[in-house]
Chain A
Amino acid sequence: MTVTPLKFYQVGSFAVGNRLLTDEERSEQSNPNRVNALTSGHRACQGCGEALGARYVLDTAMAATDGKIMAVNATGCLEVFSTPYPETSWRIPWLHSLFGNAAAVASGVATALKAQGKTDIRVIAQGGDGGTVDIGFGPLSGMWERNDDVLYVCYDNEAYMNTGVQRSGATPPAARTNTSHASGPEPGAHFNQGKFLPLIAMAHHIPYVATATVADLHDLEAKVKKAMTFRGARYLHILVPCPLGWGSRSDETIMLSRAAVESGFFPVFEAEHGVMTSSKKIRRRIPVEEYLKPQKRYAHLFGANGRPDIVERLQRIADHNIEQYDLVEKGAEE
Chain B
Amino acid sequence: MRKQIEGSQAIAQSVATCRPGVICAYPISPQTHIVEALDDLVRRGRIEHCEFLNVESEFGAMSVAIGASAAGSRVYTATASQGLLYMVEAVYNASGLGLPIVMTVANRAIGAPINIWNDHTDAMSQRDSGWIQLYAQDNQAAADLHIFAFRLAERVSMPVMVCMDGFVLTHAMEQIDVPEQEQADAFLTPFVPRQKLDVDNPVSIGAMVGPEAFTEVRWLAHHKQLEALAAIPGLAEEFAGVFGRRAAGPNDHLGLVTDYYTEGAETVVVALGATIGTLEDVIDELREAGTSIGVLGITSYRPFPSAVIRERLQHAKRVIVLERAFAVGIGGVVDADIRMSLMGLDIAQNTVVAGLGGRAITRASLRDIIAKSIAGDVEPLTFLDLNEGMIPA
List A residues at the B interface (Cβ < 8 Å). Answer: 67-70, 72-73, 79-80, 83-88, 90-98, 100-101, 104-117, 121, 138-139, 141-142, 145-146
Q: Are B204 and A88 in contact (CB under 8 A)?
A: yes
Q: Mark B167-190, 1 if CB is under 8 A from A, else 0.
A: 000000000000000000000000
Shortest distance between the CB of B25 and any CB in chain A (Å): 13
**CB neighbours of B56 from chain A (8 A):** 138-139, 141-142, 145
Shortest distance between the CB of A323 and any CB in chain B (Å): 34
Q: Mark B93-109, 1 if CB is under 8 A from A, else 0.
A: 10001000000000000
Q: Are A84 and B208 in contact (CB under 8 A)?
A: yes
**CB neighbours of A97 from chain B (8 A):** 63, 66-67, 90, 93, 97, 206
Q: Of the candidates A116, A138, A141, A142, which one forms a contact with B21 in the assembled complex, judged by CB atoms under 8 Å apart?
A: A116
**CB neighbours of B197 from chain A (8 A):** 70, 93-95, 109
Is residue B364 within 8 Å, beta carbon to beta carbon, of the partner chain? no
**CB neighbours of B93 from chain A (8 A):** 97-98
Interface residues on B, range: 35 or more
A-B contact pairs, 26 of them (CB 8 A): A80-B208, A83-B206, A84-B207, A85-B210, A93-B199, A95-B70, A95-B204, A96-B205, A97-B93, A100-B89, A101-B66, A104-B64, A104-B67, A107-B55, A108-B22, A108-B66, A108-B71, A108-B75, A109-B197, A111-B73, A115-B22, A116-B49, A116-B71, A138-B57, A139-B56, A139-B59
Residue on B with the closest CB to A62? B199
Shortest distance between the CB of A167 and any CB in chain B (Å): 22
Given contact pairs A104-B55, A142-B56, A112 touches B208 in the complex (Cβ within 8 A): no
**Other contacts beyond A85-B207, A90-B202, A141-B56: 6, CB < 8 A:** A85-B208, A91-B202, A100-B59, A105-B67, A107-B64, A139-B63
**CB neighbours of B49 from chain A (8 A):** 115-117
Residue on A with the closest CB to B26? A142
A101 CA to B205 CA in the complex, in Å?
Answer: 15
Q: Of the candidates B50, B90, B205, which one forms a contact with A98 in the assembled complex, judged by CB atoms under 8 Å apart?
A: B90
**CB neighbours of A116 from chain B (8 A):** 21, 49, 71-73
Q: Are B202 and A112 in contact (CB under 8 A)?
A: no
Shortest distance between the CB of A65 and any CB in chain B (Å): 9
Shortest distance between the CB of A162 and any CB in chain B (Å): 11
Is residue B69 within 8 Å, beta carbon to beta carbon, of the partner chain? yes
A241 CA to B164 CA in the complex, in Å?
Answer: 51
Q: Are B67 and A72 in contact (CB under 8 A)?
A: yes
Q: Are B67 and A108 in contact (CB under 8 A)?
A: yes
List B residues at the A interface (Cβ < 8 Å). Answer: 21-22, 24, 49-51, 53, 55-57, 59-61, 63-73, 75, 89-90, 93, 97, 197-199, 202-210, 213
**CB neighbours of B63 from chain A (8 A):** 97-98, 101, 104-105, 107-108, 139
Q: Are B210 and A84 in contact (CB under 8 A)?
A: yes
| Chain A CB within 10 Å, residue with most, of B50, B73, B199 | B199
**CB neighbours of A101 from chain B (8 A):** 59-60, 63, 66, 89-90
Q: Are A109 and B67 in contact (CB under 8 A)?
A: yes
Residue on A with the closest CB to B65? A108
Residue on B with the closest CB to A104? B63
A114 CA to B203 CA in the complex, in Å?
Answer: 20
Shortest distance between the CB of B211 and any CB in chain A (Å): 11
Q: Are A113 and B71 in contact (CB under 8 A)?
A: yes
Residue on B with the closest CB to A70? B197
A92 CA to B197 CA in the complex, in Å?
Answer: 9
Is chain A's binding surface mostly helix, strand, loop or mixed? mixed
Q: Are A109 and B59 in contact (CB under 8 A)?
A: no
A4 CA to B206 CA in the complex, in Å?
Answer: 43
Residue on B with the closest CB to A139? B60
Shortest distance between the CB of A159 and any CB in chain B (Å): 21
Shortest distance between the CB of B82 and any CB in chain A (Å): 15
Shortest distance between the CB of B156 and any CB in chain A (Å): 20
**CB neighbours of B59 from chain A (8 A):** 100-101, 104, 138-139
**CB neighbours of A83 from chain B (8 A):** 204, 206-208
Q: Of the candidates B64, B205, B208, which one forms a contact with A108 in the assembled complex, judged by CB atoms under 8 Å apart?
A: B64
| Chain B CB within 10 Å, residue with most, of A108, A110, A138 | A108
Q: Of the candidates A73, A85, A112, which one forms a contact with B71 in the assembled complex, judged by CB atoms under 8 Å apart?
A: A112
Q: Are A115 and B73 in contact (CB under 8 A)?
A: yes
Shortest distance between the CB of B278 and any CB in chain A (Å): 40
A100 CA to B202 CA in the complex, in Å?
Answer: 24
Shortest distance between the CB of B84 and any CB in chain A (Å): 16
Given contact pairs A97-B66, A101-B59, A108-B65, A90 touches B204 in the complex (Cβ within 8 A): yes
A41 CA to B72 CA in the complex, in Å?
Answer: 30
Q: Are A92 and B199 in contact (CB under 8 A)?
A: yes
Q: Are B57 and A96 in contact (CB under 8 A)?
A: no
Q: Of the candidates B51, B67, B97, B203, which one forms a contact with A106 in the assembled complex, judged by CB atoms under 8 Å apart?
A: B67
Given contact pairs A109-B197, A116-B72, A86 touches B90 in the complex (Cβ within 8 A): no
Q: Are B60 and A93 in contact (CB under 8 A)?
A: no
Shortest distance between the CB of A135 and any CB in chain B (Å): 10
Residue on A with the closest CB to B71? A112
Q: Are B206 and A95 in contact (CB under 8 A)?
A: yes
Q: Are B213 and A85 in contact (CB under 8 A)?
A: yes
A110 CA to B198 CA in the complex, in Å?
Answer: 13
Q: Are A142 and B60 in contact (CB under 8 A)?
A: yes
A41 CA to B347 CA in the complex, in Å?
Answer: 61
**CB neighbours of A141 from chain B (8 A):** 56
Given contact pairs A86-B207, A139-B60, A94 touches B202 in the complex (Cβ within 8 A): yes
Shortest distance between the CB of A37 and any CB in chain B (Å): 9
Q: Are A138 and B60 in contact (CB under 8 A)?
A: yes
**CB neighbours of A68 from chain B (8 A):** 199
**CB neighbours of B198 from chain A (8 A):** 93
Q: Are B202 and A109 in contact (CB under 8 A)?
A: no
Q: Of the candidates B57, B69, B70, B210, which one forms a contact with A139 in the assembled complex, judged by CB atoms under 8 Å apart?
A: B57
Q: Are B66 and A96 in contact (CB under 8 A)?
A: no
Q: Are B55 and A70 in contact (CB under 8 A)?
A: no
| Chain A CB within 10 Å, residue with most, of B24, B53, B64 | B64
A114 CA to B22 CA in the complex, in Å?
Answer: 9
Which A-B residue pairs are the 5 nearest by beta carbons? A108-B67, A142-B56, A96-B206, A104-B63, A101-B63
Q: Are A111 and B205 in contact (CB under 8 A)?
A: no
